[in-house]
Amino acid sequence: MAPAPQLDQPENDELSGYRYRLLEGWVMPPEITDESFASSRNLPTRPTDICFVSYPKSGTTWLAYILVLLTQKKKDSLETSYVWPESDRTFQGTAEDLAQLDDPRIFKSHMPYHMALGTPARSPCRYIYIARNPKDVCTSYYYFERNQSWSGFFDGGWDRWFEMFVRGKVQRGDWFDHVLSWWEKRHEENVLFVKYEDLQKNFDSELKRIADYLHIEVDDAVVKEIRDTVSFSNMKTNEFSSLANRDGHTCFFRKGKVGSWREQFTAKQTEVFDSMYRDRMADTGLSFDFD
């Protein structure tokens, strides 16, 4: 695998309205303070804990809903059914508050392996990482930051966004480094690596794989019920999962299909990205479906 391109010290992009900060060399949302990051990374975890992780716009909310249904932890809304402790915006409680939660506790993280909640290398927590092909991620992330961003709407245009994405200058940093940090740990006992495209194409078998990893028994009826509940059309309109119109934002979901990047990438951008993809993914053993 080739190294990531050199990352210059980023500054808030006043022209595009996009804000971020550096945290241990990674581009992160400004809401992740040193204190909130340390609290999340050092959080005492339990063998019954579940933490779902991803690079943004990789099927995170979809996986969250699946886990909430599998563990029967559904509360008033999807967001209140799990805890996201790594930023001041998403969690204002204390470690003591988290210690009082009933098992299994469900956590969310958008961090690379070495920065994730509970420090996976020494944590008994069970981590599920979901990855999506980077072209669809880049496209979906652009529309999210343009229309729904929680830390400054991006209005620099698609070409500017594409340039920032391939240079790792968007929030959560370089896609390749992020995904591969978890892929390289896929054989660890407490890590399950899931592909968005596999979940799309083979939902039942992938759901059973997730359930087996969590030691949860499911029959065909349960699988069908979960499949129907977490369908994209249902999640987009369901008040429990849609996250729609919250804090002035429009619908959280966009298309959810594989291959939507073709409607956005120019021929030149496709050529640039394909070359970078071949270089960065060489000899990793990881590949993605793009259609």
Active site residues: 110
- The three-class DSSP label of residue 106 is strand
| Cα distance between residue 163 and residue 53, in whole Å | 25
Give whole-number Cα distances, 158 to 12, 43, 141, in Å. Answer: 18, 38, 11
- The three-class DSSP label of residue 267 is helix
| Cα distance between residue 105 and residue 71, in whole Å | 10
Q: Which amino acid is at 154?
A: F
- The three-class DSSP label of residue 283 is coil
| Cα distance between residue 44 and residue 152, in whole Å | 32
Strand order from edge to edge, sheet including 50-54: 106-109, 50-54, 126-131, 191-195
| Cα distance between residue 172 and residue 287, in whole Å | 21
How is residue 120 written in tokens? 């996976």
| Cα distance between residue 98 and residue 44, in whole Å | 9
